[in-house]
Amino acid sequence: MRMRAALAVSLLVLAAGATAAADEIRSVPVVTQVQGAVFYRTSITLFNGNASTTTPVEMLFSYRSPADGTFQTTTLQVSPNLGPRTVRFFDDIIQAFKNAGRIRAADASRNLFGTLLLTFASLDSRVEAGVVARTYSPATGGGTNAIAYEGRCFCETGATGRVLTAGRSGSFGSDGSTRANMGIVNEGFGPSDVRITYYNGDTGAQLKQYLLGDVIGRALEENEVYQLNNIFSDAAIPASVHTLFIRVEPEFPGGSSYISAYMVQLDNTTNDGAFFFGFEEGT
């Protein structure tokens, strides 16, 4: 978490006697427009909680190009600026970038998957900047299935130490039959590799430890997300294992390496999912 860095900046501002509002930045770990088992899209709801101030909001979309594998970043300004106590909604945030011509031609017709940072430039308090993402897909018989998750304060995202989480696969009584996807996000400054360790959830025995870079052939860039789908299909996990305890760590430790992780439990019949962040350690 970046609380110490944020506090240091605040103290410098106070020492200088400045009264200007600071940028408030929200980190959305994943936004998508992908045809997978079903068609997944991400909507974004954002609000300005200030009672009197209108704020500009800039959105930074970072993604790995499906056309040539390069890492791309692009920005889009929310227009008009967000007024006091007002809400703005995008039903498909990646399509909004495409419609605005902010996605390069090579990627404009492709499936895209990445992260989103939103900067509110003129607010007085962290709580006044609100962002919620909802990744959804069509449901059988109409409507949608979805997972929803908040855009967290960028000052508090990521760990320099461990990220701890758990996942499960198979049938669990009335809770249905599920599979698990795990996403890794580089929330830091500069590239970083990530070390992942799987443990048998029944016995605590280590099953596998590996570097994400050995799987994908590179380190994660700043603001990049990579999702490991159906993690129980890994050959190192016996078919008899239905729960995993998982440890995720930045491989390039230090003050600039911040890693976060999330899990998605997906119903094998409906593809409906449940989203949760890993527990982060380290400052």
| Residue 93 maps to a domain | yes
| The pLDDT of residue 253 | 52
Among 216, 212, 215, 210, residue whose Cα is nearest residue 197? 210
| Cα–Cα distance for residue pair 245/199, rounded to 1 Å | 5
Cα 44 off chain centre by: 13
- Compute CA distances 225 → 61, 93, 220, 231, 246, whole Å: 11, 17, 7, 16, 17
Residues 151 and 167 in one domain: no
Q: Which two tokens stand for residue 210?
A: 């590996």
Residues 265 and 185 in one domain: yes
Residues 205 and 130 in one domain: no
| Residue 174 maps to a domain | yes
Q: At which of 135, 156, 177 does a domain end? A: 156
The residue behind tokens 């890993």 is 278
Residues 148 and 214 in one domain: no
SS3 content of the chain, % helix, strand, coil (to 5): 15, 45, 40
Residues 152 and 196 in one domain: no
Residues 195 and 170 in one domain: yes
Q: What range defines the domain where residue 223 resides?
A: 163-280
Residues 51 and 178 in one domain: no
| Structural contact between residues 223 and 28, judged by C-beta atoms closer than 8 angstroms | no
| Residue 3 maps to a domain | no
**Number of domains, the chain:** 2
- What's the whole-model pTM score? 0.89
Query: How many CA atoms does the CB half-sphere of 165 hold within 13 Å?
Result: 25
- The tens place of each residue's pLDDT in the chain, 283 residues long, gives 444 344 333 333 333 344 455 789 999 999 999 998 789 999 999 999 999 999 999 999 999 999 999 999 999 999 999 999 999 999 999 999 999 999 999 999 999 999 999 999 989 888 999 999 999 999 888 999 999 999 999 988 998 889 999 999 999 999 999 999 999 999 998 899 999 999 999 999 999 999 999 999 999 999 999 999 999 999 999 999 999 999 999 987 555 789 999 999 999 988 888 999 999 987 5
| Residue 4 maps to a domain | no
Whichever domain contains 205, its CATH number is 2.60.290.11
Residues 40 and 148 in one domain: yes
| Cα–Cα distance for residue pair 24/80, rounded to 1 Å | 18
Residues 52 and 26 in one domain: yes
Residues 126 and 205 in one domain: no
Q: At which of 156, 190, 214 does a domain end? A: 156
| Residue 5 maps to a domain | no
| The pLDDT of residue 37 | 76
Whichever domain contains 100, its CATH number is 2.60.290
